[in-house]
Amino acid sequence: MPADFLGKWSTDPARCEQVNGEVDMLEVLPDGLTFYEIGCEFDEPTAGGKSLRIVAQCYKGGSPMTAGEVELSRLEPDRISVSLHGFFWTAETPETFQRCHEQ
């Protein structure tokens, strides 16, 4: 996982904490990611420019692990989008996050 994708991201960078219904937090780790009720474990990413497409095993809430793909795209230095593909419990619409800055 490229270092510029790693770290904590928020839908509201002024509030880098999960606030259900208001703010979503994303944490990208070398081997997976978590946000809200979703967790994913990555296989090797396939890079293509500013985007990564990663085969992953993901779950939501108490659902079993399911195979699919995670797409991470760099929009700007401090903005990325995340979309999940092939999972029955989520739409494939990208969600945008901004990097959290340590206070």
pLDDT, tens digit (0-9, with 9 covering 90-100), for 24-76: 889 999 999 998 889 999 987 666 678 888 999 999 998 999 999 999 999 99
Spell out the residues 6+ positions from residue 2 whose beta carbon is closer than 8 angstroms to its own: 45, 47, 52
Query: Which pair of tokens denotes residue 33?
Result: 């990611």
Spell out the residues 6+ positions from residue 100 whose beta carbon is closer than 8 angstroms to its own: 7, 8, 9, 10, 13, 16, 25
pTM over 0.75: yes
Q: Average of pLDDT values for 1-11?
A: 89
Distance of alpha carbon 56 from alpha carbon 28, whole angstroms: 13
- Domains in the chain, ordered, with CATH? 3-99 (2.40.128)
pLDDT for residue 102: 63
